[in-house]
Structure 1
């Protein structure tokens, strides 16, 4: 099972200047690579979704950071958890991703979701349609991305997206195309999109029962369209807090309780010493998970090194 880490893309104003904050994020990515993590991941927001005072935190833009990290690392995979479908036209997103795949020598995973944070949409001038519309738009985007990563010339006539002879060269490095991870738990629409277009799925903070149920639905939906479900990589996103001992980890979690619920970390994430987390990762793998992406309560180098002990 592979292990990825969310990068410290969000930081408190006044904590350090922007250059120092960005260099810290880069340092964490490079250390994750050196420690043997399989991926580093970025979120796609314009401001904090966790802080009640939105202006109190600063955030580096997702895709600009992805491109920079592609050049500041050499082996580790890079992805988004997740790109907001509404923020970029899919033809542009396809071109951006193809370019980053070249910059990274074929290490990109494009993670995408329907979007959810209404306040962020309206503040930045984006329309916020209802969830059925956003999901239909996501389905059209998935088709356009796959087409522009594989076809010589792309034509697409959808309800929301029209493409008339778009050319995307280079298409990237990975074959047959850049992998597309579709995130979300919705059973009536999202998981059907995963089955039809996804190269990976991602569920946020799932319980063991939820994982088994969602994976079974993906297998069912793949069977209905004649697709091998083994083609879809099964990933989850969890919160984590690691310490030298279990009590130390719990104390650290209590100190950041505004960001994470201790009970939620214990039951749906990773909480404890490296040995405790190693067993938890084993249990998660037995459920069929192929990759765990961890959002640490404190994304610093000591915590990263402790977490690495859980899978070495």
Structure 2
């Protein structure tokens, strides 16, 4: 079982804040530092100092960290054209020495599109664009050196692209996720190296992972080739008082977090992760870390929870 740190900087974080968290996670031995791709805060937070872009963030972290892997849950297909996005991600992969993991989704938060002048099509069109972007980005990266890539879809057309630059990795890990019942599992079966479920219960996860397995079998792919992962809010403390303090800092109730996330003492959280593993076969857990100033939280989990897994 691998633990990864997952941040939501649209709630209020600068690059320096994220760098401190990423370096703390790296020093503590976490497998990866992930962040969301949002341009507008959610809930009651004021969002100061304002949004940051993930691929600009990762360009900095590529040079300011050494070993930790870097990725998105999830890059929004509505924010960028696929050709320039493929260039950006490949460049960051080169800058990091091959440490990028690329999560991409259809985009869902309408208010941030309105706030920054981005089109927000219907769900059906967003998913069409999402499917085409995945095909284009992977196609560009997989085109042999010296070859060209062309694509003609409903929403995007590329003609004789030199398909450059190439990532440092032979294959950048591609994360797909979500609860769509048909098209999402089918897309994962065709392209994903990892399937992620954010903030769902165990029963829902069991059902969705089964759909992905079925989609793999229908395409002749071994379902075991796809890593299973979940993202859950973390609130861990050595005492009940520590847990209550950390829950209050993020505006949540302890009982609700124990029900829907990973909250409690280290022993309680280890048991909860064990229940997830036994029921769903998950191999990675993304710990949604909402209080980015509480670096001790990250190190405490690394020292008190990770060794028991």
Do they fold alike, i.e. is TM over 0.5?
yes
**How far is 1:223 from its partner?**
0.7
User: CA separation in 2, counterparts of 1:98 and 1:252?
Assistant: 37
Q: Structure 1 residues 122, 298: CA separation in 2 closer, same or farther (over 3 Å shift)?
A: closer
* Residue 122 of structure 1 pairs with residue 114 of structure 2: yes
What is the aligned counterpart of 1:283 among 250, 257, 275?
275
Q: Pick the aligned partner of 1:173 from 168, 172, 175.
A: 168
What is aligned with 1:15? none
Matched, 1:219 2:216: no
1:249-264 alignment, distance < 5 Å: 249-257=243-251, 260=252, 262-264=254-256
Q: Is the 8 A contact 1:87 1:126 kept in 2?
A: yes
Note the 1:201-212 alignment, pairs <5 A. 201-212=195-206
2:149 maps to 1:154: yes
Q: By how many angstroms is 1:247 displaced?
A: 4.0
CA-based RMSD: 1.8
Q: Decide which moves more: 242-251 or 25-34.
A: 242-251
Q: Deviations over 1:45-101 (max 9, x none)?
A: 112123365x65522221100111111111111001110001111011111111111
Runs of at least 5 residues in structure 2 that lack an aligned partner in the other structure: none
Kept after mapping to 1: 8 A contact 2:8/2:36: no
Structure 1 gaps of 5+ residues are: 13-17
What does 1:71-220 align with in structure 2 at a 5 Å threshold?
Answer: 71-151=63-143, 152-175=147-170, 177-220=171-214
Q: Is the CA contact (8 Å cut-off) linking 1:250 and 1:271 kept in structure 2?
A: no
Q: 1:78 to 1:276 in 2, by over 3 A?
A: same
Cα distance change on mapping 1:283 and 1:244 into 2, 3 Å: same
Give the TM-score taking structure 1 as reference length: 0.91
- Aligned-pair distance for 1:284? 1.9
CA distance in 2, matches of 1:120, 1:95: 24
